[in-house]
Amino acid sequence: MLVQHHHDPGVFDADHCWACARQAGLLDHYRRVQQQEATLREDHPDGRGVLLSLTARGNQLLLDALPAWQEAQERAQSLVAEALLGLEAGKEAS
């Protein structure tokens, strides 16, 4: 039997609707994922963040993504440099 909902039919938001998540069997899965994440996370020694451990698969995904990330960083730096040159040129023309 379905429980009462506080959203439109056909809309599913497991983050706010625990009744939907429970019915869909997602709560147990969510809790297991949270427990697994907790084993891969530890506080940074200086207290400024969290250190994460990667699985072998996660490490490979990160390595595979690194060239595209580096290219995006270079492009962003180039765009910022162009914008700064444009600002300087605008100041000199004034």
**Three-state DSSP class for 51?**
strand
Contact present, 69 and 78 (Cβ < 8 Å): no
CA distance 19 to 3: 7
CA 69, 61, 21: angle at the middle one, nearest 5? 110
Note the pTM of the prediction, 2 decimals: 0.44
pLDDT digits (tens, 9 = 90+) for 13-48: 656 666 666 666 666 777 777 777 777 777 778 888
Residues 46-83: pLDDT tens digits? Answer: 888 877 778 889 889 999 999 999 999 999 999 999 99
